[in-house]
Amino acid sequence: MSRYVAFLRAINVGGHTVTMAELRSLVADAGFGDVSTFIASGNVLLSADAEPADVEQALEKAFADALGYEVETFVRTPEELQRLAVAEPFGAVEGGHKVQVGFLKAVPSATVRAAVAGLSNDYDTLLVEGREVFWHTSGGISDSLVKPGVFNRALGQPSTFRNVTTVRRLADKVG
C-alpha cells in the first residue's frame, strides 16, 4: 500500500458543507485505508494500492456520487510533498510575505507557464514548476492584484492552493 495526500478543491463552497468526519467516511467507503484529514480545508491522507491518477479518479467519482457535485482532487506522494516542503523558488521569504503552492493535474505547456509568470506584478510573483504553481505575495493572498478569473484563464486547468506552511506540515505527517 502506498501513502498519499489528496488536496480537494472547493469541497465546502457554494452552500455545501461536508464535515471532516463525513469526508473521512466517504474516502474510507471508496475503498481507501488509513484515512485521516488535516485541518478543515480539504486535505486527506490515505493509503491505496493504486497509482495517484487512479486515486484521483476514484475519489472524484466517489465525491460526485455521494455529494452530487464535482470535487476536483489532486493527489501527491510523500516524496513529492517532501520536494515541495524544501523548495524555495523565491529564496528565503521574510516578513509578511506569503507563499502558496497550487496543485495541478498536468504539467502546463511552456506557453501556459509563460502566461502565468506574466501575471506577476509588484505584489505577486507566480512561477510554475512541474505540476505546481508557486505564488508569492507581499502580504495576504486576499490582497493579490491577480484576479481569479484572469489567473484561471491563463492557467487553463483546475487548481487548488495551500499555504506552504500547510504543505510542510503535511510533508512531515507523511514523510
DSSP annotation of 128 reads E
Domain edges within the chain: 2-76, 85-174
In CATH terms, are 2-76 and 85-174 the same topology? yes
Please give the CATH architecture assigned to the domain spanning 85-174. 2-Layer Sandwich (3.30)
In the predicted structure, residue 175 carries a pLDDT above the cut 90: no
**Residues β-bridged to residue 100:** 135, 163
**46-78 per-position pLDDT tens digit:** 999 999 999 999 999 999 999 999 999 999 999
Per CATH, the number for 2-76 is 3.30.70.1280
* C-alpha–C-alpha distance, residues 134 and 120, integer Å: 11
Residue 20: alpha-carbon gap to chain centroid: 17
Phi and psi of 66, rounded to 5°?
A: -85, -35
Given this model, what pLDDT does residue 96 score? 59
pLDDT tens digits, 80-132: 999 999 999 998 887 657 999 999 999 999 999 999 999 999 999 999 999 99
Query: Which pLDDT score, from 0 to 100, does residue 95 have?
Result: 64
